[in-house]
Amino acid sequence: MAKKTKPSRKVTRSRSTNSKPSASANASTRTYEIPDYRLERPNFAVSQVRKGDEVRYEVTGDVSAPVPPIRESKYLTRQQHIEIYRWMLLNRKMEAALENLYKQSKVVGGVYFGLGQEACSCASAYALKKDEWLGPMIRNQGSLLVRGFPARDIMMQYMAKAGSPTKGRDASSHFGDIKDRNVVAPISTLGDLIPVLAGVALGARLQGKNIAVMTYIGDGGQSTGVTYEGLNFAAVQNLGLVLFVENNLWGYSTPSDMQFRVKDLAERAIAYGIPGVIVDGTDACQVYDAAHEACERARRGEGPTLIEAKMMRMKGHAIHDAAEYVPRPLFEYWKKRDCITRFEHYLVSVKKWLSSDENRKLIEDVDRELEADRDAAVNSPMPAPETAAPGAYCEDGCHTIKPKYAIPKTRLGKSEMKTSEAAVHLK
């Protein structure tokens, strides 16, 4: 069951052997522990209020609590803290650049942001070794950076450029790299990455290796059936899956209080028979330490871990969504808990591992890298139309896939069908 460590929450479940009330004397009680590493436990709820035709959300509870400090990491060196901080900065600044590119009509499609979630994306992926595997979701662009994708690749992908990872065939996040960086492309169908990553761990096991594989699911996405199926499979097979449940309080416009009844999503771990842990997703040290411990379990062949990272989606679902439905006090509460500002303060003022001068240079260095990448991405060519088909299903050139465009068979010979009205003919 869940590991016994100090900062934990007890979950008690009574089991009656008989459904009649009188059987309560025979009831036995089991206690499970969910380690909760947060240094504060926010105490508020979001509820739906209807007034006539209008539906809005209200937040009740204490939103004025003081901002918690960063929890000291048990594992990270000074240099590693600074590296994670740099990834987080790059993650945020890249997304700000993408927002501008979108406003300049250079982006094809939408843009998804992980604003406020950079600590979770970057510090989690940082815990993986080079030969281990990651399956990011749309908000985990920071994880992609940590795994070695340059910001240029991500920006080119959003602009559907010829040099992007999918060579312009996809305009947002559906790309990975199964050759060098061990990154499985995100799957939009929520939860489907979980069995895929479990399968990667199983594949490694069949080759005689226990490795850690990591993926993410949101507070909304964890309600899907495939989340249960994938995690249950990993649990019974003892596969080294590290599942981050990113509880950012919203699934589109649905608050998590209307998505599930358990107090903490980490409690779900009890029902899978695996450890569940709660961390503050805005604290890079907590995220890293929990990820590291889960990866170490995975490497020892001890099976999966569910880590619930609590934080807040600081923008709408995607760029088209202004998040008007989110109560303002909630944004204000989480803005004070910004993962980058707090980590910067920790490194510069608390630990004094970065002088103000070094910090400024580091920020300038990130800006320079990003600007160079953005300019290269903007100035790179769009794909030629004839490159659309080859390589969509296999490596470029290894198979020839003949286009099957023709006039539908059923209508062949009927004089009213013009060539311009031809539809795709599937044999």
Distance CA 261, CA 349 (A): 40
Asked if 315 is part of the footprint of ligand TPP (rule: CB under 6 A), the reply reads no
Report how many residues bind ligand TPP under the rule CB under 6 A. Answer: 16
Asked if 308 is part of the footprint of ligand TPP (rule: CB under 6 A), the reply reads no
Q: Which residues of 403-418 are buried (b: 16+ CB within 10 A; e: fewer)?
A: eeeebeeeeeeeeeee
Distance CA 88, CA 85 (A): 5
Binds Mg ion by CB under 5 A, chosen from 176, 195, 251, 327: 251
Largest CA distance in the chain: 84
Distance CA 269, CA 169 (A): 38
Q: Cα 306–311–313 angle (5° rounding)?
A: 115
> Which of 185, 242, 232 is closest to 210 using CA atoms?
242
Residue 189 interacts with which of ligand TPP, Mg ion, none, CB < 5 to 8 Å by class = ligand TPP
Binds ligand TPP by CB under 6 A, chosen from 46, 88, 190, 366: 190
The two three-digit tokens of residue 122, written as one number: 């970057």
Q: From the CB of 224, what's the least distance to Mg ion, in Å?
A: 13
Residue nearest ligand TPP, Cβ-based: 218
Report how many residues bind Mg ion under the rule CB under 5 A. Answer: 4
Distance CA 359, CA 97 (A): 21
Angle between helix axes 356-379 and 78-103 (nearest 10 degrees) is: 40
Residue 158 interacts with which of Mg ion, ligand TPP, none, CB < 5 to 8 Å by class = none
Q: From the CB of 172, what's the least distance to ligand TPP, in Å?
A: 12
CA terminus-to-terminus distance, the chain: 53
Binds ligand TPP by CB under 6 A, chosen from 116, 142, 186, 221: 221
Residues 209-228 that bind Mg ion (CB under 5 A): 218-219
What mask, x for binding ligand TPP by CB under 6 A, covers residues 380 to 399? --------------------
The two three-digit tokens of residue 245, written as one number: 């449940």
- Tokens 């590119």 belong to 101
Asked if 248 is part of the footprint of ligand TPP (rule: CB under 6 A), the reply reads yes
Asked if 258 is part of the footprint of ligand TPP (rule: CB under 6 A), the reply reads no
Which of the ranges 125-133, 184-192, 379-387, 395-403 carries the binding residues for ligand TPP, by CB under 6 A?
Answer: 184-192
Q: From the CB of 171, what's the least distance to ligand TPP, in Å?
A: 16
Nearest residue (CB) to ligand TPP, 171 versus 370: 171
The two three-digit tokens of residue 166, written as one number: 């999918």
DSSP 189-251: STTTHHHHHHHHHHHHHHTT----EEEEEETTGGGSHHHHHHHHHHHHTT--EEEEEEE-SEE
Residue nearest Mg ion, Cβ-based: 218
Asked if 121 is part of the footprint of ligand TPP (rule: CB under 6 A), the reply reads no
Hey, which residues does 242 pair with through a beta bridge? 214, 305
Nearest residue (CB) to ligand TPP, 116 versus 303: 116
Residue 276 interacts with which of Mg ion, ligand TPP, none, CB < 5 to 8 Å by class = none
Asked if 136 is part of the footprint of Mg ion (rule: CB under 5 A), the reply reads no
Asked if 22 is part of the footprint of ligand TPP (rule: CB under 6 A), the reply reads no
Q: From the CB of 281, what's the least distance to ligand TPP, in Å?
A: 11
Distance CA 110, CA 224 (A): 24
Asked if 189 is part of the footprint of ligand TPP (rule: CB under 6 A), the reply reads yes
Distance CA 418, CA 369 (A): 53
Asked if 317 is part of the footprint of ligand TPP (rule: CB under 6 A), the reply reads yes
Nearest residue (CB) to Mg ion, 135 versus 218: 218
Binds ligand TPP by CB under 6 A, chosen from 36, 118, 153, 219: 219
Alpha carbon of 348 to those of 78, 135, 149: distances in Å? 12, 32, 28
Tell whether the torsion through CA atoms of 220, 309, 92 and 325 is positive or negative: positive
Residues 127-146 that bind ligand TPP (CB under 6 A): 139
Asked if 252 is part of the footprint of ligand TPP (rule: CB under 6 A), the reply reads yes
CB atoms within 10 A of CB 341: 13
φ, ψ dihedrals at 34, nearest 5°: -115, 105
Binds Mg ion by CB under 5 A, chosen from 143, 248, 259, 282: 248
Residues that bind Mg ion (CB under 5 A): 218-219, 248, 251
Residues that bind ligand TPP (CB under 6 A): 139, 188-190, 218-221, 224, 246, 248, 250-252, 313, 317
